[in-house]
Amino acid sequence: MARKSVLATDQAPKAIGPYSQGILHGDLVFTAGQLGLDPSSGDLVPGGVAAETRRTFENLAAVLAAGGASLATVLKTTVFLRDIADFAAMNAVYAEFFPNEPPARSTVQAAALPKGAAVEIEAIAARSESAARQSARPA
């Protein structure tokens, strides 16, 4: 039976509560919701929902990489918006990161997000074949 492994990277913001940045279980990587926080300062990036969305994807990519996955292997995302009126601005940036064969997605408006963020995104991804083969090798 596959065991879960906690993922952590300094290339994404530290968890601001009792949760992990990501979890590896078998060949799947589950990320915590990521915000548009600068990993070094812990502050939201300036520039509104588009800038926050872009930084959110950079943070997601870092957590996914820590688990041997990437944005190219994302199967499902969940997007939380503080204001659904920001959907078009978020979606334009989202499309830059998934230009072909985008993952399944749910988008919901949340009453409030941590740190007053405009957007939060979580992902489920498959590990790359090379990462899966490497971890399957006997020690």
**In the chain, what percentage of residues exceed pLDDT 70?**
91
CATH of the domain at 40: 3.30.1330.40
Q: Is 136 exposed, middle or buried (0-12, 13-18, 19+ CB in 10 A)?
A: exposed
pLDDT top residue among 33 and 138: 33
Range of the domain at 38: 4-136
Per-residue pLDDT tens digits for 92-137: 999 999 999 999 999 999 999 999 999 999 999 999 765 555 554 4
Mean pLDDT score, 47-55: 98
**Averaged pLDDT score across all residues of the chain:** 93
Question: DSSP code of 115?
Answer: G
Instruction: Provide the greatest CA pair distance for the chain.
Output: 51
**Closest C-alpha among 115, 109, 120 to residue 35:** 120
CB 35 within 8 A of CB 13: yes
Structure confidence at residue 1 (pLDDT): 67
Which pair of structure tokens corresponds to residue 116?
């007053």
Q: Classify 42 in phi/psi space as left (phi over 0), alpha (psi -120 to 50) or beta.
A: left
Number of structural domains (the chain) is 1
